[in-house]
Amino acid sequence: MTPIEAALAGVWLMLPALIPNSAAVLFGGGGPMDLGKSWRGKRVLGDGKTWRGFFGGSLAGAAFGLLQIGIAEAIYGVGGGLFWPANTSTIMSSAPPRRYGVASGVMNTFRNTGMVMSFALSLVAATSVIPAAYVYKLFIGTLTGGLPPGMATAYLAGQSFAFEVSIALLAVAAVISMIRGKLPTHAPTPGGEAAASAADGDGRD
């Protein structure tokens, strides 16, 4: 990750914490939070700290944080919506109707295997640059104080490498999908499945 990328990522991640400071000014006004009380001759908080500003700023920061999550989920949802239905339709339509169960089982087996393997490869790529002891503490949640600065930079570089490997694998898969040619389709016909089952039964006899 370059310094510019790190700076942009830092600003994006810090926005939910930065927005309340400005939003409190916009929503401010009304009664002060300290109810006008003083302590040793000085106001506890002052007229600038109001309940409207406090709740308005807090809710604005929380709302923007939820918006960030929504944007990330929307990107993931659009990508999945474009891929999964088309992929499933292509696989299932290339199987004979009486083999839909087998095709569905094989498809889901390979999908789950691919996801598990991708997680493993990504973790290996991201954590191969830091000592195993830190990796263990990092993923079980016992690491206190964070990674040393040099090690943290190396870990972020490992994450970037994992994303680059994932993009390369996706590009290879897309090229293979484009050059594989048109797959045969098997449209179900009325009574076709029953006839095929009867034929299978006659063959077994």
Considering only residues 8 and 193, tell me which one the structure prediction assigns the higher pLDDT: 8
Q: What is the pLDDT of residue 187?
A: 60
- pLDDT higher than 60, residue 204: no
Query: What does the pLDDT look like over 129-138, one tens digit per residue?
Result: 777 777 777 7
Q: What is the pLDDT of residue 185?
A: 66
Nearest-angstrom CA–CA distance, 166 and 172: 10
Question: Which one-letter amino acid corresponds to residue 49?
Answer: K
Mean pLDDT check: name the lowest of 66-75, 148-157, 186-195: 186-195
Instruction: Looking at the chain, list the stretches that DSSP marks H as alpha helix, in order from N- to C-terminal side.
Output: 3-27, 51-93, 100-127, 132-140, 149-179, 192-204
Threshold 0.75, pTM exceeds: no
What is the phi-psi region of residue 170: left when phi exceeds 0, alpha when psi lies from -120 to 50, beta otherwise?
A: alpha
3 state DSSP class of 181: coil
Q: Determine the average pLDDT of the residues in 169-192.
A: 72
CA distances from 153 to 8, 12, 158 (A): 16, 18, 9
Nearest-angstrom CA–CA distance, 82 and 84: 6
**Cβ atoms of residues 43 and 34 within 8 Å:** yes
Q: What is the pLDDT of residue 189?
A: 57
Q: If residue 38 lies in a helix (H) or strand (E), which one and from where to where? A: strand 38-39
Q: What is the pLDDT of residue 7?
A: 81
pLDDT band at 183 (very low <50, low <70, confident <90, very high): low
pLDDT band at 99 (very low <50, low <70, confident <90, very high): confident
Query: What does the pLDDT look like over 44-85, one tens digit per residue?
Result: 887 778 888 888 888 999 999 999 999 989 998 998 888 888
In percent, the amount of the chain with pLDDT more than 70 equals 87
Task: Name residue, tokens 């790190």.
Answer: 6
- pLDDT higher than 60, residue 200: no
